[in-house]
A and B are shown apart, each in its own frame.
Chain A
């Protein structure tokens, strides 16, 4: 079970046991981390699942597709070099220990 640590906007951290193959977005939603809004349910249509990949095995994540890359220009909170859309980030044994920061706004 790959673990993901979410640093919430209020500073609280929540550690969640994820499942291989599910996305960080799904992991957040099913753990009740509502600051990951995910309005489109993970179909790469909304950019309300923005996170900053903060620490851990960052290189184990796939590179952003062209569409994701372009969409990151339109997140509600400023884009940073570590910005990703979490519905595009699948968990695997290699991603165990990832730490992501959740921005305060998704709209």
Chain B
């Protein structure tokens, strides 16, 4: 396989991992990693957290050291996007005019932030956060801001809002739904989060949509809600979700449906094209095989590793346990599995101490676990899901139940149902 060429399109979390894992798998052919951004692959999670406060300096964002790609003989093409794919000729065209032939093409194009279609969204001071360039802008402006409005109560929005509150800035979050992250979080954990942030000084208006943004001399001044209230703002962050970057795939005739559609091996509708990370819609083993798109570091890394293994001839069904973390102020929120479709939620730990896990079940089947400041519960939950160790709602309420012992194999399996 030494004369094969793999082109990886998108030099982010997934793309960079795919290149590295291909070498780990012993792939000896040519690898070209093409990225639209001019930066070498970097981590996004700190951008809405420690990077904004200076706790994480820019040089610590790089996923791998500068010499790494040379060292493992990966050709980097940065600052130039893949602009076309010819699946019949098996070649891609780049923004710089270059054409690259491939044996296999890995699409790791990520997602971009959804735009806010309201008046005033183009005013100076209305920002969004996805890339390092975006984050530089937010970081530059945040210290001078006296009032921040975050539109959208998703993970990234709440992280930015929590950072702003931590800097002593008056901060308001508008969330159109009556619950935070209703599609992802159980109601109990969501309302815990609202209260925990309010205790720390954040204003969160649920059931509230931003209707217009107004300003003077082109500079943002206030956000108006659809029920006619206004909140002053000299900085507005829009965080209303992301859309996958699929255009170049769709134009090439690949199947696209809220993401580039793949099979359980992460292969697209063309046998020599694969899709991973935020841009891929794959049949998820933890959602009974439903097609879905996950936006997380874990998903990007695990899918990259899976495709690298497949290209090295070790194809397996992709079935990594999904997990995610979000750090908001001193709250570490982690989700293991996919807790949607739950009918029972059992709280474990002390919510008053802001340390607990919410175990989500469908009947007697554990779907997923949401943890707040309980990282060991989170790891235990992942282990249970990974190994299929049974755990029922009733087990959790038994006196003396020891989660870590069960998950780490130090105690016998749960007592059989009597």
Q: Which A positions have Cβ atoms within 8 angstroms of B?
A: 26, 29-32, 34, 39-41, 43-47, 67, 70-71, 73-74
Contact = CB atoms under 8 A, between A and B. Distances in A.
Given A41-B43, A73-B404, A32 B67 contact: yes
A31 B297 contact: no
B65 interface: yes
Nearest to A47: B379
B376 A31 contact: no
B46 interface: yes
B66 to A, nearest CB: 9
B376 A67 contact: yes
B393 interface: no
Contacts of A31: 65
B404 A45 contact: no
Given A41-B43, A74-B376, A74-B379, A32 B404 contact: no
A15 B375 CA distance: 31
Contacts of A70: 375-376, 404
B70 to A, nearest CB: 11
A44 B333 CA distance: 11
B378 interface: yes
Contacts of A46: 325
14 contacts: A29-B64, A30-B60, A31-B65, A32-B64, A32-B68, A39-B297, A41-B45, A45-B332, A47-B379, A67-B375, A70-B404, A73-B407, A74-B379, A74-B383
Contact of A45 (B46, B67, B71, B378): B378
A39 B379 contact: no
B376 A41 contact: no
Given A71-B379, A73-B408, A74-B380, A26 B60 contact: yes
Given A31-B65, A32-B64, A39-B301, A74 B407 contact: yes
Interface in B286-306: 297-298, 301
B65 A45 contact: no
Instruction: Tell which of A32, A44, A45 has the most Cβ of chain B within 10 Å.
Output: A45
B187 to A, nearest CB: 24
Contacts of B24: 34
A74 B403 CA distance: 12
A43 B80 CA distance: 32
B349 to A, nearest CB: 12
Interface of B: 20, 24, 43, 45-46, 60, 62, 64-65, 67-68, 71, 297-298, 301, 325, 327, 332, 334, 375-376, 378-380, 382-383, 404, 407-408, 410
A67 B349 CA distance: 14
Contact of B298 (A39, A44, A47, A71): A39
B376 A43 contact: no
Contacts of A47: 379
A47 B334 CA distance: 13
Contact of B408 (A41, A44, A74): A74
Given A29-B64, A30-B65, A34-B64, A40 B407 contact: no
Contacts of B68: 32
A65 B69 CA distance: 36
A74 to B, nearest CB: 4
Nearest to A48: B301
Given A39-B297, A73-B404, A74-B383, A44 B375 contact: yes
Given A41-B43, A41-B46, A74-B383, 18 more contacts: A26-B60, A29-B64, A30-B60, A32-B64, A32-B67, A34-B20, A39-B298, A39-B301, A44-B332, A45-B325, A45-B332, A46-B325, A47-B379, A67-B375, A71-B375, A73-B376, A74-B376, A74-B379
B55 to A, nearest CB: 11
Contacts of A29: 64-65
A17 to B, nearest CB: 13
B356 to A, nearest CB: 14
A36 to B, nearest CB: 12
Contacts of A71: 375-376, 379
A67 B67 CA distance: 34
A43 B326 CA distance: 10
Contacts of B71: 32
Contact of B334 (A41, A45, A73, A74): A45
